Structure 1
Amino acid sequence: MDLIEALSDRFAFQQSLYRETVDALAPPLAAAAEILAQTVLSGHRLWIVSGPGTHYLAAHFTERLWYGLERERPPFAAVHLPAATTPPHGQPLDVLAQPGDCVMILLGHEPSETIRAAMRTALEAGSPLIVIGHDPDEHIWSQLRGGDVPVALPELPPAQQDELLLFLLNALTETWEQLLFGELV
């Protein structure tokens, strides 16, 4: 197999993956975009918590929310708390996440202690949760409430999950921007 053929196979795999997952992933992503838009328009905060292996994707997502929009948007607070800064007992989230003032976005390949601690904090504060990741034992999904949004990634090798997660975060940012400016109703 030559390099062009190998690269062509990668492109074909990604195309196939997006086609196969669109029906499962587009509805929760749309719900997540609506929650993010409502949160920002009401002056509340976004907490983005990354589990091990997703720090750089969460940082990219936060940067896109702050600076990656094509137009000026209302000011808002979005903070990324990587796994390294979020100890298992939940602080600083226990102090920062006040009831009803934020939405928590959890990103992870697999449930980690960081994700579990952030989830406990959000549940106790009554904050809506958007969880984007893979939960093979459904430990996280089983704890979500009615207004929470699970975006369940299929089981894939970590590098391919990263590619899909990056695509989903970019799509979420673009959809959120369209909602903010009334382009999608």
Structure 2
Amino acid sequence: MLEARIQQQFFECADLMYQVADGLARPIADAAQAAVGCITAGGKLLACGQGGGQWLAQWICSALMLRFERERPPLAALALGPSLVQPLQASADLAGDGMLGLALQVRALGQPGDLLLACCSGGDEAALLAAVREAHAKEMSVVLLSGPPGEAAALPSLLGETDVWIAVPHERLARVHELQLLVIHALCDAIDLQLLGDAEPG
């Protein structure tokens, strides 16, 4: 019984991958093109998230700065997070704001033409809302990676014509996290494909 339960985890994940491949391919391609356009024009990618989304932001920035599967020059990517503003969290200006410091980091580091990747694992995240608004104020485009559309009602409503929304359509958080990581891997591969050509990774 235990082994069957474990196998079901794999079957459910595999079924979901097949179901969403067609629907997610286009927005991932759009996000990859936006990232390459930004970086080759001298801009940078800023990534942020909360919970599991924060880990995804760190993962993609590491893959872009170091390497994903192929050797290449480092790309301009920076993961935003609480550690950048934590020493000031106790001050009167930031007390109680928590991760709202993400918006301050976008304000300080973002430039027109940069790209913000906002990773949301579910629900309307106040800090991500503030970060997206700040990115638009800085004339940056946004890529939003979220769970099912119904869970992120406020965030997509902020997106403009040059923004991209990648929504993983599943209610189970574990499946959302798994597919979001696959989206990040597909995005890294698509970026490398545009920059390096279609040679097989070593």
TM-score, normalising length from structure 2? Answer: 0.81
1:16-165 matches, within 5 Å, as 16-82=15-81, 85=84, 87-88=99-100, 90-100=103-113, 102-109=114-121, 110-134=123-147, 135-136=149-150, 138-165=153-180
> Residue 39 of structure 1 aligns to a residue in which SS?
helix
C-alpha distance in 2 between matches for 1:120 and 1:29? 22
Note the alpha carbon deviations across 1:75-132, whole angstroms, 9 max, x for none. Answer: 43211012565642621211211222x1000001133111111101111111110000
> Residue 165 of structure 2 aligns to a residue in which SS?
strand
1:72 Cα deviation from its structure 2 partner: 3.5
**Unaligned segments of structure 1, at least 5 residues:** none
2:188 aligns with one of 159, 165, 173: 173
C-alpha distance in 2 between matches for 1:47 and 1:53? 17
Amino acid aligned to 1:113: A
1:157 Cα deviation from its structure 2 partner: 2.1
CA contact 2:53–2:120 (8 Å) conserved in 1 = yes
C-alpha distance in 2 between matches for 1:70 and 1:18? 21
C-alpha distance in 2 between matches for 1:70 and 1:23? 24
Amino acid aligned to 2:33: E
C-alpha distance in 1 between matches for 2:68 and 2:22? 26
CA contact 2:141–2:163 (8 Å) conserved in 1 = yes
TM-score, normalising length from structure 1? Answer: 0.88
CA contact 1:52–1:83 (8 Å) conserved in 2 = no
How big is the alpha-carbon RMSD for the aligned residues of Structure 1 and Structure 2? 2.0
CA distance change for structure 1 residues 155 and 82 in 2, over 3 Å: closer, same or farther? farther
Amino acid aligned to 1:122: A
1:71 Cα deviation from its structure 2 partner: 3.3
> Residue 52 of structure 2 aligns to a residue in which SS?
coil
1:7 Cα deviation from its structure 2 partner: 2.8
CA distance change for structure 1 residues 31 and 182 in 2, over 3 Å: closer, same or farther? same
CA contact 1:64–1:173 (8 Å) conserved in 2 = yes
> Residue 147 of structure 1 aligns to a residue in which SS?
coil
Residue 92 of structure 2: aligned partner? none
1:33 Cα deviation from its structure 2 partner: 0.8
CA contact 2:35–2:191 (8 Å) conserved in 1 = yes
Amino acid aligned to 1:166: L
Question: Matched residue pairs, number?
Answer: 182
